[in-house]
Structure 1
Amino acid sequence: MKYRSNKESGYASAAVDYRKQKRISQAAQFFLLRYGYGEPPCRFDVVAIDGEQIQWIKNAFDYCG
């Protein structure tokens, strides 16, 4: 989830760049393997809040290993 109070900083959804996608992917892989889930398919959603506007982007990006 990312919140931006104004658009001067850019849109909240744009803050989830490739570098963050890769970090989130690696954390998910660690969690899934650590707790015995193996490597099932998983989905990465992004919830972006820009002021009063809420945007839920389902399946926002694929695993970045």
Structure 2
Amino acid sequence: MIGGSRRIPFISRIVQEVFNKDAKTTMNLNEAVARGAAMQCAILSPAFREREFSTKDSQPYRVEVE
């Protein structure tokens, strides 16, 4: 989980219960999206050479709270 919703204890607890996994808290929540966007730009840019790596969606579905 990234972004502000990770800071809401209720949301974090529900997500952990539903997926039966602890939420990772090692990355700065404010930087997570920016880091991902910067890495994607570097991968797509011919000016940078990045190591080969793969990603895996752990939750490929949108999660919404109404």
TM-score (norm 1): 0.30
Q: Mark the structure with the bigger radius of gyration.
A: 2
Greater helix share, 1 or 2? 2
Q: Which has the higher strand share?
A: 1
